[in-house]
């Protein structure tokens, strides 16, 4: 029975073709599946054992290809691709939808007063700091000072942006004010992600050939990775923070909402959650997680180092993070 499953399945790559948007979307719908956060430690360890054994050429008796891929995605949902360490539960991509729907829903509900706005921006940046650290690229450690700087700077930026924009929209239609949280979140993402991953910008991230052999580190690859993650994160937030306000603005004029105002928060959170179920994987799919860069775009010293070992390499690859 153990010989039935081929050992030639490449589980170091996603199951679907990552050169197409649809293939990446299928991959990330699996990666961000919220059901994965409900898995027990035993299920995670079982998946890790299946994957580690398979990589060593050992196939569990009766294991099917579908079961192998299921184990692969369970493993990837909980363990960092570069370090192999078990990731913080709320920092995993499978926790994005339930965590973000709660935080974003509350940000959109309680945006009218400055204290509430400050509080929810702080909660959001605290969560973002955990996510950015958990899903960083590379295996280099991040110091407490670097994390603290990124956290304080992003939180300050988000709060200042939110309060500044709120003051500018006082005399504009109420629907405009509903978009202040999104503008603040977009600004904070542009601060939080680069600062959390500043070590990558300073020292570079691991780059590899097409077979996964490490070639060195590149700061230019780090910059490309971080730009792609910032774009994806803003893209994730856009539908969830743009569509529900329009619906809620219309609903709040109805007699039902005036009679049951306590329904505002649950409805807002539900709408955000429905949007995020699709926005999260689809925006992650903007770029392949295993991103690539042409050799001639790397730093000259890195190019020289690689050329000394292999003059035929034209493309290098790296984990951009999420």
Supply the pLDDT for residue 194.
Answer: 82
The band of 90, judged by pLDDT with boundaries at 50, 70 and 90, is confident
Tell me the average pLDDT across 104-110: 79
* pLDDT tens, position by position, 233-259: 888 888 877 787 778 777 777 777 777
Supply the pLDDT for residue 148.
Answer: 78
The band of 275, judged by pLDDT with boundaries at 50, 70 and 90, is confident
Tell me which of 140 and 11 has the higher pLDDT. Answer: 11
Query: Three-class SS of residue 207?
Result: strand
Statement: residue 150 has pLDDT above 80: no
Positive or negative: CA dihedral 221, 222, 228, 232: positive
Supply the pLDDT for residue 1.
Answer: 41
User: In the chain, what are the helix, strand and coil shares in percent, each to the nearest 5?
Assistant: 65, 5, 25
Supply the pLDDT for residue 2.
Answer: 44
Statement: residue 41 has pLDDT above 80: yes
Give DSSP secondary structure letters for 74-99: HHHHHB-TTT-PBPPGGGSGGGHHHH
* pLDDT tens, position by position, 183-204: 777 777 787 778 777 778 888 8
The band of 139, judged by pLDDT with boundaries at 50, 70 and 90, is low
User: Which region among 161-175, 200-214, 244-258 has the lowest average model confidence (pLDDT)?
Assistant: 161-175
The band of 22, judged by pLDDT with boundaries at 50, 70 and 90, is very high
The band of 178, judged by pLDDT with boundaries at 50, 70 and 90, is low
Largest CA distance in the chain: 74
Q: Is pTM beyond 0.85 here? A: no
Tell me which of 47 and 118 has the higher pLDDT. Answer: 47
d(CA 316, CA 293): 5
Statement: residue 159 has pLDDT above 80: no
Which range has the top average pLDDT, 9-13, 42-46, 292-296?
42-46
The band of 108, judged by pLDDT with boundaries at 50, 70 and 90, is confident
Supply the pLDDT for residue 259.
Answer: 78
- In the chain, the percentage of residues whose pLDDT exceeds 70 is 91
The DSSP call for residue 8 is T
Tell me the average pLDDT across 30-40: 88
User: Which region among 43-47, 58-62, 76-80, 135-139 has the lowest average model confidence (pLDDT)?
Assistant: 135-139
If phi > 0 it is left, if psi is from -120 to 50 it is alpha, else beta; for residue 302 that is alpha
Instruction: Provide the 10 A C-beta neighbour count for residue 97.
Output: 25
Query: Three-class SS of residue 19?
Result: coil
* pLDDT tens, position by position, 48-83: 999 988 888 888 888 888 899 999 989 888 888 777
């Amino acid at each position: 029975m153990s010989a039935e499953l081929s050992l030639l399945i490449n589980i170091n790559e996603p199951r679907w073709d990552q050169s197409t948007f649809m293939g990446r979307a299928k991959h990330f719908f699996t990666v961000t599946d919220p059901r994965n956060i409900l898995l027990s430690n035993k299920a995670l360890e079982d998946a890790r054992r299946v994957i580690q054994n398979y990589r060593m050429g050992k196939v569990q008796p009766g294991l099917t290809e579908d079961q192998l891929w299921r184990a692969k995605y369970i493993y990837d949902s909980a363990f960092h691709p570069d370090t192999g360490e078990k990731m913080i539960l709320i920092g995993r991509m499978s926790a994005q939808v339930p965590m973000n729907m709660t935080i974003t829903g509350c940000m959109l509900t309680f945006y009218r007063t400055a204290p509430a706005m400050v509080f929810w921006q702080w909660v959001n940046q605290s969560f973002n700091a955990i996510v950015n650290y958990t899903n960083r690229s590379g295996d280099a450690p991040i110091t407490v000072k670097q994390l603290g700087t990124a956290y304080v700077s992003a939180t300050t930026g988000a709060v200042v942006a939110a309060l500044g924009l709120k003051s500018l929209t006082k005399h504009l239609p109420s629907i405009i004010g509903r978009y202040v949280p999104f503008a603040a979140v977009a600004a904070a993402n542009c601060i939080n992600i680069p600062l959390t991953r500043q070590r990558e910008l300073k020292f570079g991230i691991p780059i590899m050939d097409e077979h996964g052999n490490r070639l060195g580190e590149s700061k230019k690859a780090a910059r490309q990775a971080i730009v792609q993650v910032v774009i994806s994160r803003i893209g994730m937030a856009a539908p969830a923070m743009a569509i529900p306000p329009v619906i809620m603005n219309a609903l709040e004029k109805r007699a039902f909402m005036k009679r049951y105002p306590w329904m505002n928060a649950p409805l807002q959170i539900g709408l955000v959650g429905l949007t995020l179920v699709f926005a999260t994987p689809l925006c992650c799919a903007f770029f392949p997680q295993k991103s690539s860069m042409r050799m001639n775009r790397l730093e000259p010293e890195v190019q020289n180092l690689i050329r000394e070992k292999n003059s035929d390499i034209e493309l290098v690859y790296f984990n951009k993070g999420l």
